[in-house]
Amino acid sequence: MKSVIREKVLNIINNKRKEIINFAQNLVQIPSVTGEEGEIQKFIAKKLKDLGLELDVFEINLEELSKHPFFVPLEEYRKTYKNRPNVVGILKGKGIGKSLILMGHVDTVPVENKSLWKHDPFGGEIENGKLYGRGALDQKGGIAAQIMALESIIEAGISLKGDVILENTIEEEAGGNGALACAVKGYAADAGIYTEPSGYIIGISNRGAQFFRIIVPGIATGIEAKWGTPNAIEKAIYLYNAIDNFSLMRQVEAKKFPSYKYYILEEEDIQYLPFGTKDKELVEIINQNIIPTSVCKIHAGVWPSSTPEQCILEGSLECLPEEDIREVRERFKEYIMQVSKMDPWLRNNPPKIEWFGLWFESCITDLNHPIIKITQKNCNEITGVTPKLKGGGGSDLRCLVKYAKTPSIVFGGGIGGNAHGIDEYLELESLINSTKILALNILDWCGIENY
């Protein structure tokens, strides 16, 4: 009987192929840059209501959430939480079964220069089996797959034993306070699947991360006095190079951690990378930078012929799942201060280090958790591929694992490319496959009460 039920659900998904693709198109056609998620959440809420799910549409309580130790204070992205709700849909189980959260984020990064796109970033255009548009891969494909997977089970007339919770969250691109708010509100389950794009790879962890700012002092003076005056830019370059050395030391340290091997990519993994070009050189570059520490923003000076009073370096510091980001940042601070003591000027005029904006705790799911085995089995059934386990960068996975106490994986967002870039796209065959795999996961995990 179980095989008959599975076959019926898969047949429904095959018959709904155009509908699934159209739903993903509709999501792409609704702009939802971080801070402007209201319209897409209305669209999703209506869809979930039409499916007969219990709805919880709630705006984040900033005063309450900001008390959480890992609230992310990126105020430049957060004008207000009004009219930017999280949307949670719940299908209650009819028996005693295991519960499952399927979570995805509805927000996207902005489109910087629309004229560089071949395809309208909000047109939902399809060409050569690919859906183009901002958020198509990151991660409206995952949102479409998780909703349509559950819709197919409902259409099949199946009653599940365990609950299914669909979390459609805001603000992932600016730190993840939407997912954090769901955890704080009490949403938890026996397992979770975060439908970020991972291709046919299962994400089992995320790195911790922390933005840093280093304010390097100098003396403001006219350009004529440059050689006799401490120049903040030159001192910042000294620290920039020291940070590169710190990063190299961290790469050596990474090898002692058990999770290290899950961050090493192989050539066959290239096809599943959502960012950048898909060539072999990218794999080598990533494998040399398992725990990134990098300066990505520099600002100094107010006038072309005056040396600056200060130079500001901003960047990101990361850690592996076995590490605590708070301990790593203290090591980084101590390192910068020790290096500064080796410079005659900085010894007596030390830089100021600030932690700001985005910060993530690291997390990892038990590698023997049954949701992993179920996903591997079902992915192999649908695609012929048994997904490998891999570690990931900072993401909302931590909100499920750490704060909702829900063992979770990253899977189901499909295959594509150019996430955050020009002509972002999702491969439509992977969208259909993801929908099938998620549907089978729901059946296997939650159990079938009656049919």
In order of start, what are the domains of the chain with their CATH numbers?
2-205+362-450 (3.40.630.10), 208-261+289-360 (3.30.70.360)
Q: Report how far apart, in Å, the C-alpha atoms of 297 and of each of 213, 216, 237, 286, 315 are.
A: 9, 13, 12, 20, 6
Q: Look at residues 82, 72, 5 and name the one whose alpha carbon lies nearest to residue 36.
A: 82
pLDDT in tens, 84-110: 999 999 999 998 999 999 999 999 999
pLDDT at site 23: 99
pLDDT at site 223: 82
Q: Work out the average pLDDT over 114-132.
A: 97
Q: Work out the average pLDDT over 282-308.
A: 90
Least reliable range by pLDDT among 20-24, 59-63, 170-174, 267-271? 267-271
Q: Work out the average pLDDT over 250-271.
A: 91
Residues 6+ apart with CB under 8 A from 309: 217, 218, 219, 220, 232
pLDDT at site 117: 97
Can you tell me the distance from the alpha carbon of 100 to that of 98, in angstroms, rounded to the nearest whole number?
A: 7
What's the token pair of residue 48? 């979930």
What's the token pair of residue 182? 């769901």
pLDDT at site 275: 67
Least reliable range by pLDDT among 129-138, 250-259, 274-283, 339-348? 274-283
Confidence check: pLDDT of 276 > 60? no
Q: Any bridge partners for residue 126, and if so which?
A: 131
pLDDT in tens, 147-182: 999 999 999 999 999 999 999 999 999 889 999 999
Residues 6+ apart with CB under 8 A from 139: 104, 105, 172, 195, 196, 197, 413
Mean pLDDT of the chain: 94
Beta strands in 106-207 (DSSP E): 126-127, 130-132, 159-160, 164-169, 191-194, 201-206
pLDDT at site 76: 62
Percent pLDDT > 70 in the chain is 97
Confidence check: pLDDT of 142 > 90? yes
Bigger pLDDT: 403 vs 270: 403
Q: Look at residues 103, 312, 333, 109 and name the one whose alpha carbon lies nearest to residue 210.
A: 333
| Residue pair 449/94 in contact by the 8 Å Cβ criterion | yes
Can you tell me the distance from the alpha carbon of 441 to that of 28, in angstroms, rounded to the nearest whole number?
A: 25
pLDDT in tens, 363-411: 999 999 999 999 999 999 999 999 999 999 889 999 999 999 999 999 9
Can you tell me the distance from the alpha carbon of 290 to that of 278, in angstroms, rounded to the nearest whole number?
A: 18
pTM over 0.85: yes
Confidence of residue 200 (pLDDT cuts 50, 70, 90): very high
pLDDT in tens, 207-232: 999 999 999 999 998 887 777 789 99
